[in-house]
Structure 1
Amino acid sequence: MPELQRLRPDHAPAILAFERENRAFFAASVPDRGDDYFTHFAARHAALLAEQATGACHFHVLVADDGDEIMGRFNVVDVADGSAELGFRLAEKATGRGLATEAVRDLFTLCTTTYTLTTLRAAATLTNAASRSVLTRTGFVLTGEEVMLSGKRGVWYVRELAADRSGR
Protein backbone atom coordinates (compact mmCIF):
# COMPACT_ATOMS: atom_id res chain seq x y z
CA MET A 1 0.00 0.00 0.00
CA PRO A 2 1.38 3.45 -0.88
CA GLU A 3 2.60 5.53 2.05
CA LEU A 4 1.81 9.16 2.85
CA GLN A 5 5.08 10.97 3.61
CA ARG A 6 5.85 14.53 4.65
CA LEU A 7 7.59 16.45 1.86
CA ARG A 8 11.39 16.18 1.93
CA PRO A 9 14.19 17.52 -0.29
CA ASP A 10 14.86 14.08 -1.78
CA HIS A 11 11.30 13.84 -3.12
CA ALA A 12 12.04 16.53 -5.74
CA PRO A 13 13.00 14.33 -8.74
CA ALA A 14 10.02 12.01 -8.28
CA ILE A 15 7.60 14.94 -7.83
CA LEU A 16 8.85 16.60 -10.99
CA ALA A 17 8.37 13.33 -12.90
CA PHE A 18 4.87 12.95 -11.39
CA GLU A 19 3.87 16.49 -12.41
CA ARG A 20 5.24 16.11 -15.95
CA GLU A 21 3.66 12.68 -16.54
CA ASN A 22 0.24 13.82 -15.32
CA ARG A 23 0.14 17.40 -16.58
CA ALA A 24 -2.48 16.85 -19.28
CA PHE A 25 -4.57 14.65 -16.98
CA PHE A 26 -4.56 17.30 -14.23
CA ALA A 27 -5.33 20.15 -16.65
CA ALA A 28 -8.63 18.47 -17.52
CA SER A 29 -10.00 19.07 -14.02
CA VAL A 30 -7.74 21.46 -12.08
CA PRO A 31 -5.94 24.67 -13.05
CA ASP A 32 -2.70 24.00 -14.97
CA ARG A 33 0.51 24.93 -13.18
CA GLY A 34 1.94 26.56 -16.31
CA ASP A 35 5.34 26.23 -17.97
CA ASP A 36 7.01 28.47 -15.39
CA TYR A 37 6.33 25.86 -12.70
CA PHE A 38 8.47 23.30 -14.53
CA THR A 39 11.18 25.77 -15.53
CA HIS A 40 11.73 26.87 -11.92
CA PHE A 41 10.82 23.62 -10.18
CA ALA A 42 13.95 23.37 -8.00
CA ALA A 43 13.44 26.84 -6.55
CA ARG A 44 9.73 26.17 -6.03
CA HIS A 45 10.45 22.91 -4.21
CA ALA A 46 12.95 24.67 -1.93
CA ALA A 47 10.40 27.41 -1.23
CA LEU A 48 7.77 24.82 -0.27
CA LEU A 49 10.18 23.18 2.16
CA ALA A 50 11.01 26.57 3.70
CA GLU A 51 7.31 27.39 4.04
CA GLN A 52 6.65 23.99 5.60
CA ALA A 53 9.39 24.65 8.16
CA THR A 54 7.43 27.69 9.40
CA GLY A 55 4.36 25.54 10.15
CA ALA A 56 2.17 27.59 7.82
CA CYS A 57 1.76 24.60 5.50
CA HIS A 58 2.20 20.84 5.59
CA PHE A 59 3.03 19.18 2.27
CA HIS A 60 2.76 15.43 1.68
CA VAL A 61 3.37 12.94 -1.09
CA LEU A 62 1.84 9.52 -1.58
CA VAL A 63 4.78 7.24 -2.36
CA ALA A 64 4.34 3.95 -4.24
CA ASP A 65 5.28 0.65 -2.64
CA ASP A 66 8.63 0.67 -4.46
CA GLY A 67 9.51 3.94 -2.71
CA ASP A 68 10.57 5.64 -5.94
CA GLU A 69 7.36 6.84 -7.55
CA ILE A 70 4.99 9.58 -6.42
CA MET A 71 1.33 8.58 -6.74
CA GLY A 72 -0.17 11.78 -5.36
CA ARG A 73 0.25 15.04 -3.52
CA PHE A 74 -1.79 16.02 -0.45
CA ASN A 75 -1.26 19.47 0.99
CA VAL A 76 -2.57 21.27 4.05
CA VAL A 77 -2.02 24.98 3.47
CA ASP A 78 -2.76 28.36 5.03
CA VAL A 79 -2.75 27.01 8.57
CA ALA A 80 -4.19 29.55 11.02
CA ASP A 81 -6.29 29.41 14.17
CA GLY A 82 -6.89 25.66 14.00
CA SER A 83 -8.03 25.74 10.40
CA ALA A 84 -6.38 25.03 7.05
CA GLU A 85 -7.15 24.30 3.42
CA LEU A 86 -6.70 20.86 1.85
CA GLY A 87 -5.59 20.34 -1.73
CA PHE A 88 -4.70 17.11 -3.47
CA ARG A 89 -3.98 15.50 -6.84
CA LEU A 90 -3.54 11.86 -7.75
CA ALA A 91 -1.69 10.33 -10.70
CA GLU A 92 -3.98 9.17 -13.49
CA LYS A 93 -2.81 5.57 -13.18
CA ALA A 94 -3.57 5.60 -9.43
CA THR A 95 -7.21 6.67 -9.74
CA GLY A 96 -10.18 4.44 -9.01
CA ARG A 97 -8.43 2.44 -6.27
CA GLY A 98 -9.47 4.40 -3.19
CA LEU A 99 -5.96 5.80 -2.68
CA ALA A 100 -7.03 9.44 -2.49
CA THR A 101 -9.79 8.64 -0.01
CA GLU A 102 -7.41 6.70 2.22
CA ALA A 103 -4.71 9.40 2.04
CA VAL A 104 -7.22 12.12 2.97
CA ARG A 105 -8.34 10.02 5.94
CA ASP A 106 -4.70 9.56 6.98
CA LEU A 107 -4.32 13.33 6.81
CA PHE A 108 -7.22 13.75 9.23
CA THR A 109 -5.20 11.87 11.83
CA LEU A 110 -2.12 14.01 11.20
CA CYS A 111 -4.21 17.17 11.28
CA THR A 112 -5.70 16.40 14.69
CA THR A 113 -2.76 14.72 16.42
CA THR A 114 0.28 16.48 14.94
CA TYR A 115 -0.89 19.77 13.42
CA THR A 116 -3.60 20.48 16.05
CA LEU A 117 -6.20 21.45 13.47
CA THR A 118 -9.93 21.33 14.03
CA THR A 119 -11.25 22.34 10.60
CA LEU A 120 -10.29 21.70 7.00
CA ARG A 121 -11.66 23.49 3.95
CA ALA A 122 -11.30 22.35 0.36
CA ALA A 123 -12.39 23.69 -3.01
CA ALA A 124 -13.04 21.74 -6.19
CA THR A 125 -14.14 22.75 -9.65
CA LEU A 126 -17.62 21.68 -10.65
CA THR A 127 -16.09 19.54 -13.41
CA ASN A 128 -13.81 17.66 -11.00
CA ALA A 129 -16.18 14.85 -10.06
CA ALA A 130 -13.39 12.65 -8.69
CA SER A 131 -12.16 15.18 -6.12
CA ARG A 132 -15.70 16.12 -5.15
CA SER A 133 -16.44 12.44 -4.58
CA VAL A 134 -13.35 12.00 -2.37
CA LEU A 135 -14.36 15.02 -0.33
CA THR A 136 -17.92 13.73 0.15
CA ARG A 137 -16.75 10.19 1.02
CA THR A 138 -14.42 11.55 3.69
CA GLY A 139 -17.07 13.65 5.41
CA PHE A 140 -16.62 17.08 3.85
CA VAL A 141 -19.88 18.98 3.33
CA LEU A 142 -20.72 21.73 0.88
CA THR A 143 -20.65 25.21 2.38
CA GLY A 144 -22.80 26.84 -0.29
CA GLU A 145 -19.93 29.17 -1.24
CA GLU A 146 -18.82 29.27 -4.84
CA VAL A 147 -15.27 29.97 -5.96
CA MET A 148 -13.46 30.61 -9.23
CA LEU A 149 -10.39 28.40 -9.69
CA SER A 150 -8.32 29.77 -12.59
CA GLY A 151 -11.46 30.70 -14.47
CA LYS A 152 -13.39 27.52 -13.63
CA ARG A 153 -16.45 27.54 -11.37
CA GLY A 154 -16.02 25.61 -8.16
CA VAL A 155 -17.46 25.08 -4.71
CA TRP A 156 -16.14 25.03 -1.16
CA TYR A 157 -16.38 22.14 1.27
CA VAL A 158 -15.66 22.01 5.01
CA ARG A 159 -14.81 19.17 7.39
CA GLU A 160 -14.82 19.58 11.17
CA LEU A 161 -12.12 17.41 12.75
CA ALA A 162 -12.47 18.03 16.47
CA ALA A 163 -15.48 15.78 16.97
CA ASP A 164 -13.93 12.90 15.03
CA ARG A 165 -10.54 12.04 16.49
CA SER A 166 -10.48 8.70 14.65
CA GLY A 167 -9.93 10.46 11.30
CA ARG A 168 -12.59 8.31 9.64
Structure 2
Amino acid sequence: MMEISLSLLQENDAEELLEFETENRRFFEKMVPGRGDDYYQWAIFLERHRELLEEQERGICRFYLAKDPDSNIVGRINLVDIDEATGTAEIGFRLGENYGGKGLGSIALHLLLSTESNLKQIHAKTTTVNKSSQKVLEKNGFIHMGISDDEFEMNGEKMRFVRYLWVSN
Protein backbone atom coordinates (compact mmCIF):
# COMPACT_ATOMS: atom_id res chain seq x y z
CA MET A 1 0.00 0.00 0.00
CA MET A 2 1.35 3.40 -1.00
CA GLU A 3 1.97 5.86 1.81
CA ILE A 4 0.42 9.27 1.30
CA SER A 5 0.36 12.48 3.28
CA LEU A 6 -1.84 15.56 3.26
CA SER A 7 -0.50 19.09 3.03
CA LEU A 8 -2.38 22.36 2.97
CA LEU A 9 -2.36 24.11 -0.40
CA GLN A 10 0.50 26.59 -0.74
CA GLU A 11 1.30 29.26 -3.30
CA ASN A 12 4.25 27.24 -4.63
CA ASP A 13 1.94 24.29 -5.46
CA ALA A 14 0.37 26.12 -8.43
CA GLU A 15 2.54 24.74 -11.23
CA GLU A 16 2.38 21.11 -10.11
CA LEU A 17 -1.34 21.41 -9.39
CA LEU A 18 -2.10 22.75 -12.86
CA GLU A 19 -0.09 19.85 -14.31
CA PHE A 20 -2.10 17.37 -12.19
CA GLU A 21 -5.43 18.92 -13.22
CA THR A 22 -4.43 19.03 -16.90
CA GLU A 23 -3.19 15.42 -16.94
CA ASN A 24 -6.41 14.20 -15.34
CA ARG A 25 -8.89 16.54 -17.02
CA ARG A 26 -10.59 13.99 -19.27
CA PHE A 27 -10.77 11.47 -16.43
CA PHE A 28 -12.32 13.98 -14.00
CA GLU A 29 -14.79 15.24 -16.58
CA LYS A 30 -16.26 11.74 -16.88
CA MET A 31 -17.55 12.09 -13.30
CA VAL A 32 -17.93 15.80 -12.55
CA PRO A 33 -18.84 18.83 -14.66
CA GLY A 34 -15.84 20.34 -16.42
CA ARG A 35 -14.23 23.59 -15.36
CA GLY A 36 -14.01 25.01 -18.88
CA ASP A 37 -10.98 25.63 -21.07
CA ASP A 38 -10.09 28.93 -19.37
CA TYR A 39 -9.34 27.15 -16.09
CA TYR A 40 -6.32 25.46 -17.70
CA GLN A 41 -4.68 28.68 -18.92
CA TRP A 42 -1.77 29.57 -16.64
CA ALA A 43 -2.74 33.20 -15.88
CA ILE A 44 -6.35 32.28 -15.09
CA PHE A 45 -5.33 29.20 -13.11
CA LEU A 46 -2.84 31.25 -11.07
CA GLU A 47 -5.48 33.89 -10.29
CA ARG A 48 -7.93 31.19 -9.18
CA HIS A 49 -5.16 29.54 -7.12
CA ARG A 50 -4.53 32.83 -5.30
CA GLU A 51 -8.27 33.24 -4.66
CA LEU A 52 -8.35 29.76 -3.08
CA LEU A 53 -5.40 30.65 -0.86
CA GLU A 54 -7.20 33.84 0.25
CA GLU A 55 -10.32 31.81 1.11
CA GLN A 56 -8.13 29.38 3.03
CA GLU A 57 -6.49 32.26 4.91
CA ARG A 58 -9.93 33.59 5.89
CA GLY A 59 -10.78 30.15 7.34
CA ILE A 60 -13.81 29.42 5.19
CA CYS A 61 -12.07 26.64 3.24
CA ARG A 62 -9.10 24.31 3.59
CA PHE A 63 -7.58 22.79 0.51
CA TYR A 64 -5.37 19.73 0.95
CA LEU A 65 -3.12 17.97 -1.52
CA ALA A 66 -2.62 14.25 -1.13
CA LYS A 67 0.98 13.45 -1.99
CA ASP A 68 3.03 10.30 -2.42
CA PRO A 69 6.41 9.80 -0.66
CA ASP A 70 8.14 11.64 -3.52
CA SER A 71 5.81 14.64 -2.99
CA ASN A 72 3.91 14.07 -6.24
CA ILE A 73 0.25 15.09 -6.12
CA VAL A 74 -2.00 12.03 -6.24
CA GLY A 75 -5.23 13.83 -5.35
CA ARG A 76 -7.03 16.70 -3.71
CA ILE A 77 -9.37 16.83 -0.75
CA ASN A 78 -11.12 20.08 0.05
CA LEU A 79 -13.23 21.38 2.88
CA VAL A 80 -15.46 24.28 1.85
CA ASP A 81 -18.14 26.39 3.52
CA ILE A 82 -16.48 25.81 6.88
CA ASP A 83 -18.54 27.20 9.74
CA GLU A 84 -16.33 27.25 12.84
CA ALA A 85 -19.28 28.22 15.06
CA THR A 86 -21.28 25.08 14.23
CA GLY A 87 -18.31 22.86 13.33
CA THR A 88 -19.71 22.04 9.89
CA ALA A 89 -18.21 21.90 6.41
CA GLU A 90 -18.67 20.33 2.99
CA ILE A 91 -16.10 18.03 1.49
CA GLY A 92 -14.98 17.21 -2.02
CA PHE A 93 -12.15 15.01 -3.20
CA ARG A 94 -10.58 13.65 -6.36
CA LEU A 95 -7.76 11.26 -7.12
CA GLY A 96 -5.71 11.20 -10.29
CA GLU A 97 -6.59 8.48 -12.79
CA ASN A 98 -3.46 6.44 -12.08
CA TYR A 99 -4.16 6.35 -8.35
CA GLY A 100 -7.72 5.04 -8.23
CA GLY A 101 -8.61 1.58 -6.96
CA LYS A 102 -5.69 1.43 -4.52
CA GLY A 103 -7.46 2.58 -1.38
CA LEU A 104 -5.77 5.99 -1.49
CA GLY A 105 -9.05 7.91 -1.44
CA SER A 106 -10.03 6.17 1.78
CA ILE A 107 -6.61 6.81 3.31
CA ALA A 108 -6.71 10.49 2.33
CA LEU A 109 -10.20 10.93 3.76
CA HIS A 110 -9.20 9.11 6.95
CA LEU A 111 -6.17 11.42 7.30
CA LEU A 112 -8.37 14.45 6.79
CA LEU A 113 -10.93 13.32 9.37
CA SER A 114 -8.18 12.79 11.95
CA THR A 115 -6.58 16.17 11.09
CA GLU A 116 -9.83 18.15 11.25
CA SER A 117 -10.80 17.11 14.78
CA ASN A 118 -12.71 20.36 15.43
CA LEU A 119 -15.39 19.54 12.86
CA LYS A 120 -18.61 18.00 14.15
CA GLN A 121 -20.37 17.36 10.82
CA ILE A 122 -19.18 17.10 7.24
CA HIS A 123 -21.58 17.04 4.32
CA ALA A 124 -20.66 15.32 1.06
CA LYS A 125 -22.32 14.62 -2.24
CA THR A 126 -21.40 12.58 -5.24
CA THR A 127 -23.28 11.23 -8.24
CA THR A 128 -25.22 8.01 -8.56
CA VAL A 129 -22.68 6.80 -11.15
CA ASN A 130 -19.61 7.51 -9.00
CA LYS A 131 -19.56 4.25 -7.05
CA SER A 132 -15.91 4.61 -5.99
CA SER A 133 -16.59 7.92 -4.19
CA GLN A 134 -19.63 6.39 -2.51
CA LYS A 135 -17.44 3.53 -1.26
CA VAL A 136 -14.76 5.91 0.05
CA LEU A 137 -17.35 7.93 1.96
CA GLU A 138 -19.10 4.88 3.43
CA LYS A 139 -15.80 3.23 4.41
CA ASN A 140 -14.99 6.37 6.43
CA GLY A 141 -18.26 6.45 8.35
CA PHE A 142 -20.30 8.81 6.18
CA ILE A 143 -24.01 8.03 6.37
CA HIS A 144 -26.07 7.79 3.18
CA MET A 145 -28.71 10.54 3.55
CA GLY A 146 -30.58 10.14 0.29
CA ILE A 147 -30.63 10.75 -3.44
CA SER A 148 -31.83 14.03 -4.94
CA ASP A 149 -34.98 14.08 -7.02
CA ASP A 150 -33.38 16.21 -9.71
CA GLU A 151 -31.96 14.12 -12.52
CA PHE A 152 -29.38 15.59 -14.88
CA GLU A 153 -27.40 14.33 -17.83
CA MET A 154 -23.63 14.41 -18.13
CA ASN A 155 -21.62 12.73 -20.86
CA GLY A 156 -24.83 11.17 -22.17
CA GLU A 157 -25.57 9.47 -18.86
CA LYS A 158 -28.49 10.28 -16.55
CA MET A 159 -27.57 10.71 -12.91
CA ARG A 160 -28.61 12.28 -9.63
CA PHE A 161 -26.74 13.52 -6.59
CA VAL A 162 -26.23 11.22 -3.60
CA ARG A 163 -25.94 13.03 -0.25
CA TYR A 164 -23.86 11.88 2.70
CA LEU A 165 -23.22 13.10 6.24
CA TRP A 166 -20.36 12.39 8.65
CA VAL A 167 -20.87 13.11 12.35
CA SER A 168 -17.95 13.04 14.81
CA ASN A 169 -18.18 10.61 17.69
Q: Same fold (TM over 0.5)?
A: yes
Maintained 8 Å contact 1:83/1:120: yes
Q: Output the CA distance in 2 between the equivalents of 1:61 and 1:137.
A: 20
- Alignment correspondent of 1:59: 63
Q: Output the CA distance in 2 between the equivalents of 1:6 and 1:16.
A: 16
Question: Which residue, out of 13, 16, 19, partners 1:14?
Answer: 16
Is residue 54 of structure 2 the alignment partner of residue 50 of structure 1? yes
Question: Which residue, out of 91, 96, 100, partners 2:101?
Answer: 96
Q: Output the CA distance in 2 between the equivalents of 1:158 and 1:117.
A: 12
TM-score for both structures, normalised by structure 2? 0.88
Question: Which residue, out of 74, 77, 81, partners 2:77?
Answer: 74
Q: C-alpha deviations, 1:124-165, integer Å up to 9, x for none?
A: 01111111110111111111251769855211100001x1xx
Is residue 108 of structure 2 the alignment partner of residue 106 of structure 1? no
Aligned-pair CA distance for 1:36: 2.0
Maintained 8 Å contact 2:4/2:108: no
Aligned length: 158
Aligned-pair CA distance for 1:2: 2.0
* 1:74 counterpart letter in structure 2: I
TM-score for both structures, normalised by structure 1? 0.89
Structure 1 gap ranges (5+): 164-168
Q: C-alpha deviations, 1:50-93, integer Å up to 9, x for none?
A: 000000001000112212x2100000110112100010000010
3-state DSSP of counterpart to 2:65? strand
Structure 2 gap ranges (5+): 154-158
Q: Could you say if the C-alpha distance between residues 105 and 147 of structure 1 is closer, same or farther in structure 2, counting changes exceeding 3 Å?
A: farther
